[in-house]
Amino acid sequence: MQKELTCEQVGAIITFYIEGKLSETLQKAVKHHLDICPECSAKFDAIMNMLKRGVQDKISENSDNEAQKKIKNKQYAEFKANLSAYIDNELDDRENIRIKKITISNPMARKDLEEMYAFKKLLHNSFDKTRTDLRYDFSKNVLNQMHHANATKFEISFKKLAIAYIIMLAAIIAGAIHLWLSYF
């Protein structure tokens, strides 16, 4: 695969890149793109920072022992557990209001919600564009392959025809010579 990746393709597979789940070639292609594209490199840094902060939040949660913090953490845990359902509008009214209240009172939850929205939008956009790009590449490949197959087929049938023609010509000449010889 010699082709360079587009920003949209990198955006769509960046999480797999971070987790090291891509093939060696793709992993290298993404790294190369991040080296030369400031936009994608900034996105990559943002995701890495988000992940790092997530780990730090967990560490500080674990080392906290105050009762008040415990209640807040419990609220926060409830918020985290319901976050994706909340974004996808899958909660009932009572739960919806509860999550909204936690979001208002807890800055950490508010930030999570904003990031989740931003991240979802980013992923959605990249995915849509990548899907179009891939579909385009795929049909182009298929067309190329079809073209190649047709060209090969044509070549083969042309060769066969030429050989048959030569044999026929040889037979006619041989017949003519035979006929000409039989006159003498």
The answer to whether 5 contacts Zn ion (rule: CB under 5 A) is no
User: To the nearest whole angstrom, how small is the minimum distance from the Cβ of residue 126 to Zn ion?
Assistant: 11
User: To the nearest whole angstrom, how small is the minimum distance from the Cβ of residue 116 to Zn ion?
Assistant: 23
Length of the chain: 184
148 to 177: interface string for Zn ion, x by CB under 5 A: ------------------------------
Q: How far is CA 113 from the centre of its chain?
A: 25
User: To the nearest whole angstrom, how small is the minimum distance from the Cβ of residue 141 to Zn ion?
Assistant: 23
Residue 16 or 154 having the CB closest to Zn ion: 16
Residue 38 or 107 having the CB closest to Zn ion: 38
Q: How far apart are the first and last CA of the chain?
A: 71
27 to 56: interface string for Zn ion, x by CB under 5 A: ----------x--x----------------
Using CA atoms, how far apart are residues 53 and 76, in angstroms rounded to an integer? 15
Residue 85 parent element (H or E) = helix 67-87
User: Is 83 within 8 Å of 108 (Cβ atoms)?
Assistant: no
User: To the nearest whole angstrom, how small is the minimum distance from the Cβ of residue 130 to Zn ion?
Assistant: 12
Residue 37 or 87 having the CB closest to Zn ion: 37
Residues in Cβ contact with 22 at an 8 Å cutoff, skipping those fewer than 6 apart? 13, 16, 30
Q: Taking contact as CB under 5 A, which single stretch among the options 1-9, 22-30, 54-62, 128-136 is the one that binds Zn ion?
A: 1-9
Residues in Cβ contact with 33 at an 8 Å cutoff, skipping those fewer than 6 apart? 4, 5, 7, 10, 40
Residues in Cβ contact with 78 at an 8 Å cutoff, skipping those fewer than 6 apart? 98, 99, 102
User: To the nearest whole angstrom, how small is the minimum distance from the Cβ of residue 123 to Zn ion?
Assistant: 15
Tell which residue, 51, 97, 108, 49, has the closest CA to residue 74: 108
The answer to whether 7 contacts Zn ion (rule: CB under 5 A) is yes
Residue 8 or 112 having the CB closest to Zn ion: 8
Which residues would be at the binding site for Zn ion (CB under 5 A)? 7, 37, 40
